[in-house]
Chains A and B, each alone.
Chain A
Amino acid sequence: MTEPILEVKNLTVEFKLHDRTIRACDNVSLTVNRGEIVGIIGESGSGKTTLVFGILNLVQAPGEVTAGQVIYHPKGGRPVDLRTLSPEEFARYRWTNLTSVFQAAQNVLNPTLRVKEHFLETVWAHDPNAREEDVLAKARDLLSQVRLEERVLDCYPHQLSGGMKQRTIIALSLILNPDIIFLDEPTTALDVITQWYILEILKRIQKDHGLTMVFCTHDVSIIGSVVDRLGVMYAGELVEYGPVLNMFKKPTHPYTAGLMTAIPSLRDDVTKRKAIPGNPPDLANLPDSCRFAPRCFAHAQGLCEGDRARTGQLYPSHPGQYTRCYSWEKVFKS
C-alpha cells in the first residue's frame, strides 16, 4: 500500500538575479506514495509552484534546479531519476506518466484550436500512429467523466466557460493514462459551486483510475477534505509534513497552527479566528534566523530562540509527521 511513486530529495531551485540569488525552493525532500492525494499549501511566494516546476523540469531561466533528485517509480519498472534525463528522454515521461493541471486554465488552451485538436495533438506527439477515431473515442469518454458533453470537442476555447475549460484540461491531462497528476491551484478563480464540482470530479477520478495526485493551493479549506497527507511550505522550505488529520488537530509547527486558525469558515466561532502577524517573507532578504521567527508567537514569547542552524532539518513529531520547528515539544506542550 505504501509503495512510493515519487521521491523528491533535497530539491533546490535558485533564481539568479543581477546582484543576488534567490532560493525559491530550498532543499525540499518529500515522498509521495502510490494512490494517495498529497496537498501542498503555502502563501504566494512560498515556493509551491516552483517545487512542482522543479519536479516536472519546467523551471525557466533565470531559474535553475541547482541540486537534488526526483526519483520516479514506474509501475513494475525500475526507478529513474528524472533529473538525469535529457529533455528528449524526459518528454517520454511527461504526460504519459506525469501530468499537470495549472492555474488559469483559460491560458492553457490554444485559442485557435478546437478542443479535439488539443487531444489529437497531445496523443500524436507521443504516438504518431494513433488512430483518430480511437483518440476521439477516448476523449469522449474522458469528457463524460468530467461531465461535459460531446459537443465540447468541436468548440473553440472561447466558447467554454471557466469551469468548462478547467474540466476540459483535466480530461486532457488524463488522455495518456498518467499515474501521477500535479494540480496547481486548479480551482482558484472559479466560483464556489464550480469549485465544489471540480473537486468532486477529481476525487472520483482518483478513485476510479487509482491516480496519485499532488494538489497545491494557498487555501487550506479547499483541500482539507480531499487530501490524505499535507505539506506546508514557507519561504521556500517545507516546514511541516504529515497525515492531514494530525496536521489539523495536532500541528507541530507554529506556522501550520497559525494557518489553521486564520481561515474564516461557516461553522466555527468567529471570535476564535486570528491572523498571523507580520508579512510573508521577502525571499531576497531573509532573516538570519528561523525563517518564521519574525512572525512566530513562540519566538515572541521567548519560548524559542529561532536558531537558523537548527532549522536545517526536519524533526519527527507525531507518527508520520515531520516539523522544521526544533522547539515543537516546548511550544505545543500546552
Chain B
Amino acid sequence: MSLIKLENVSVYFQNEKNPRERVGALVGMNLEIEPGEIIAVVGESGCGKTTLGKVITDIYQPTEGRLLYKGKDVRELDKREYREYRLGVQMIHQDSYAALNPNRTIFQSLSLPLLQHKMVKNRQQAWDRLVELFTEIGLTPPEQFLEKYPHQLSGGQRQRILLARALSVKPSLIVADEPVSMVDVSLRISLLDLMARANKKYGISFVYITHDLGTARYIAHHGRIAVMYLGRMVELNQIQAALDRPAHPYFHALISAVPEADPTLRNGRMASLPLKSFDMPSVTNAPPGCKFHPRCPYAEAVCEREEPRLREFEGGLVACHLVEKIRANAPPRD
C-alpha cells in the first residue's frame, strides 16, 4: 500500500474580485509515494510544485480529488488517525530563517512538538532526545546549538535544525521544499547527504521539491523524478532514465538549460535550446490544449486542440501527443 496517494487532485485559487476567474495551480495530479522512496519534483517557478508539497502536507486542501494516507482519505480520518498522519508527514521549508521563531531558542522551538505529542515525558527527556539527534546530524556540540536563537546561526546550520525538527517526530515522509537553495554551495551536498542518510537509515520517504536538476539527481539517483509544467505533471520516470532519455520536450529543454561548470564542455552548451519562446505563459491565462504548445518546437495542430493525458512511454509516464514521433526523429544521443 502506498504511503500517500493523490487521486486526481486539483487545486484552484479564486480571484477575489472575480469569482468566476480561477487559477489552476495544480490540475489533475495523480501520484503515489511508496514507503522509503525519494521523489524529486522539478519545474520552473509557478509550475505548482510548492502547491503539490502543501497538498501532501494538508496545508492546502484539494478543490477536487482526494488525498489518501495509507489508503484512507485524509478527510475521513478520525482524530487519532489524523494526528498520526500529521506527525507522519513533515515539511522542511526553503527559508530557514522564516521557519523558526526568532524569539525562541532552538530548544524551545524544537522541544514543543515532542512535549505536545507526548513523545517525551519531560523537558529533560526532550533535551536528551534533541542532543542525541543533533549529534547524529552533525550539529556539535549540541548543547551550544540548543541554547542559541535562530539569528545566531548560519543558514546551513538553521537548515540542519529544520531537518532535525522534522526528524524528531519520527515521520514516514518528509516534504523538502527547496531545502538547499538558500544554503552556500560548499554546504549543499552535506545537507543532501544527511537527507539521503535519513532515508536509508529510517526508511523515511522524501519528496524533494526543487528547480535545480543537479541536486535532484544527487539526492534521488535511485528514485523517481516528476516534472511539472503549469500545474500539470508532464513526465514521471526513474531519474537516471529520465535524464538520459528525456521524453517530454519541456524536460528536454530544461535539461539543456542546466549550466555545465566544466569549461571544456562550453562548446556543446549555448548551441541552442529546443524552445520557441523563453517566457512561460501566465497561469491565469493558460493556453488551450497542451499547455506547452506555444513554446514547443514540435507542436502540431492536435497540440492546440487537445490536452494530452499522462500515458506510459518507455517505462515512465509522459503527457505528450507526439512523443513517439519526436523520439523517432531525434538524433541519437551519445
Contact = CB atoms under 8 A, between A and B. Distances in A.
B258 A266 contact: yes
Contact of B186 (A195, A270, A276): A276
Contacts of B156: 279-280
Interface in B241-284: 243, 253-266, 269-270, 273, 275, 278-280
A202 B289 CA distance: 34
Interface stretch (A19-27, A75-83, A90-98, A217-225): A217-225
A222 B259 contact: yes
B74 to A, nearest CB: 32
A199 interface: yes
A197 interface: yes
B193 interface: yes
Interface in A191-241: 191-197, 199-200, 203, 218-222, 224-226
A287 to B, nearest CB: 16
B297 interface: no
Nearest to A226: B266
Given A192-B213, A264-B217, A245 B270 contact: no
Contact of A191 (B193, B211, B256, B263): B211
A139 to B, nearest CB: 20
A224 to B, nearest CB: 4
A200 B266 CA distance: 12
Contacts of A147: 278
Nearest to A230: B263
B330 interface: no
A192 B269 CA distance: 13
Contact of A273 (B189, B254, B265): B189
Nearest to B189: A275
Nearest to B264: A245
B278 to A, nearest CB: 5
Contact of A163 (B157, B256, B279): B279
B14 interface: no
B185 interface: yes
B44 interface: yes
A199 B259 contact: yes
B258 A192 contact: yes
A225 B211 contact: no
Contact of A248 (B186, B256, B262): B262
B273 A197 contact: yes
Enumerate the 6 nearest inter-chain pairs by beta-carbon distance, A residue then B residue, closest first: A275-B190, A264-B218, A221-B261, A196-B257, A224-B261, A225-B266
